[in-house]
Each structure stands twice: as C-alpha cells, then as structure tokens.
C-alpha cells in the first residue's frame, strides 16, 4: 500500500516547482527591442523602403558608452541610441529605460519622465502610441547618481559601465 505521507510530499514538491515556473515567467520582459540597424537591414533585404532612424550621433559614434566606444567597435557590438521612443502595449518607464538602445539602466526612468511631463501625466500610466523624447545630454554624473538613488538603486548609486548615460 502507498504511504499517504509520500504522496503528500510529492504533491507539495510539484506545487512548489509549478509556482516557481509561473513566477519566473511573470518576471520576463514584456516587450523586447530590436537593434534598429538590424531592422533596417532586414527591411532592405525584404525590398521594403528603408525608414529614417533618428539617432543621437553618426554611425561611427553610436557605440555603447563614451569610454567603451573603441572596445565596443573592436568586439562588433554597436548599439543605435534612439532619441525618440514610441510606447508599445505593456511598456513602463522602467522597461523603456532598461532597453539597450535607450539607457540600458532601469533606474534612469525619471529622466524620461521629466523630459516628457507634458505627455505623461502619471508615470505609472503609459499609452501605446505615445512618442517619448529620450534625452541624450544635459546631465553630469552627480545628477545621474541622485536620480538613481531616488529611483531605488543600491549604493553607491553608480550606473554600470554598459549604461548609455545622457551626460555631456
């Protein structure tokens, strides 16, 4: 005869595993961005007319971060930094700031909010189709640290080296 305790333990273990899988799926990013240069290249191969891409710098200077430009070019990873972003369903300021072609740092979402206060009345409510401006300059590292601190980043409030900071 099968022991009831064994069956209960197996059921509990199965439920715990199922909950872990459900919660890990909920933490997935709702939308993903595509490297704009790859998207334009794909459209050109498909025969569609190329769309104009608004960027903050010429193609030679669109490397990840100012200090890492040479290293990024050597490794072949160039990110097209956007100056405008169109909100998609499910987007939040946190996710938008986290995208590699925006800031690659979710704690910089207040910069986007401050720059678009005329469009965004409540930072928790974004609507698909809203055109948000993405500031690319006008900040110093001390301001960036204060912004990250207010957004809930941990000490020492410094952004990662991969972040695309809007600094002069």
| pLDDT given at position 51 | 40
| pLDDT < 70 regions, the chain | 1-4, 19, 21-79
3-state DSSP assignment of residue 18 = helix
The two tokens of residue 14 are 């199965």
Q: Which domains does the chain have, with CATH numbers?
A: 28-150 (3.10.350.10)
Q: What three-state secondary structure class fits 164?
A: coil
Closest CA to 30 of 87, 86, 90: 90
Structure confidence by residue, pLDDT tens digits, 90-112: 999 999 999 999 999 999 999 99
The pTM assigned to this predicted structure is: 0.55
Identify the pLDDT of residue 2: 61
- What's residue 25's pLDDT? 59
């Amino acid at each position: 005869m099968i022991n009831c305790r064994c069956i209960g333990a197996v059921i509990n273990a199965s439920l715990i595993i199922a909950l872990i899988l459900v919660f890990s799926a909920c933490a997935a990013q709702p939308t993903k961005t595509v490297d704009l240069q790859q998207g334009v290249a794909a459209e050109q191969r498909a025969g569609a007319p190329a769309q104009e891409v608004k960027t903050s710098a010429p193609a030679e200077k669109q490397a990840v971060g100012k200090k890492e430009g040479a290293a990024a070019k050597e490794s072949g990873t160039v990110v097209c930094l956007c100056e405008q972003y169109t909100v998609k369903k499910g987007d939040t300021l946190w996710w938008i700031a986290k995208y590699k072609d925006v800031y690659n740092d979710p704690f910089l979402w207040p910069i986007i909010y401050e720059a678009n206060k005329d469009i965004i009345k409540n930072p928790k409510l974004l609507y698909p189709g809203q055109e948000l401006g993405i500031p690319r300059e006008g900040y110093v590292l001390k301001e960036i640290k204060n912004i990250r601190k207010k957004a809930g980043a941990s000490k020492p409030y410094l952004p990662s080296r991969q972040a695309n900071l809007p600094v002069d």
